[in-house]
């Protein structure tokens, strides 16, 4: 998914319930993001952003998606992304 980096953007824990293919987060299209980061010439910030994107994209593939037919099993993808954004 492509999302803005804004705390509180994901408000429901079941928003990604049953989304087994949700495995990566892109803030904006890959090349645009890379060009924007490179243009800023802030090496520390660039490295931090790449590291943070790497972390969430490693965690999401193994995070349970929950069962779409069971309301109680919302999985953990929404909570994982919420925590990641707030960090």
Q: Judge contact between 60 and 20, C-beta under 8 A.
A: no
pLDDT tens readout for residues 30-57: 566 666 666 666 777 778 878 888 888 8
Structure tokens at 79: 């909570």
- Determine the angle formed by the axes of helices 43-59 and 30-40, rounding to 10 degrees: 150
Is the pLDDT at 29 greater than 60? The verdict is no
pLDDT at 58 (0 to 100): 92
More confident residue, 2 or 13: 13
State pTM to two decimals: 0.64
- Report whether 57 contacts 33 (CB < 8 A): no
Chain segment 53-79, per-residue pLDDT in tens: 888 889 989 998 888 777 778 888 888
Distances (CA, A) of 24 to 27, 56, 59: 10, 7, 9
């Amino acid at each position: 998914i492509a999302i803005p980096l804004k705390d509180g953007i994901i408000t429901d824990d079941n928003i990604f319930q049953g989304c087994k293919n949700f495995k990566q987060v892109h803030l904006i299209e890959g090349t645009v993001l890379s060009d924007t980061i490179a243009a800023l010439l802030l090496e520390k910030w660039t490295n931090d952003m790449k590291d943070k994107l790497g972390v969430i994209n490693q965690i999401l593939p193994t995070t349970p998606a929950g069962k779409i037919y069971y309301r109680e099993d919302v999985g953990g993808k929404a909570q994982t992304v919420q925590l990641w954004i707030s960090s």
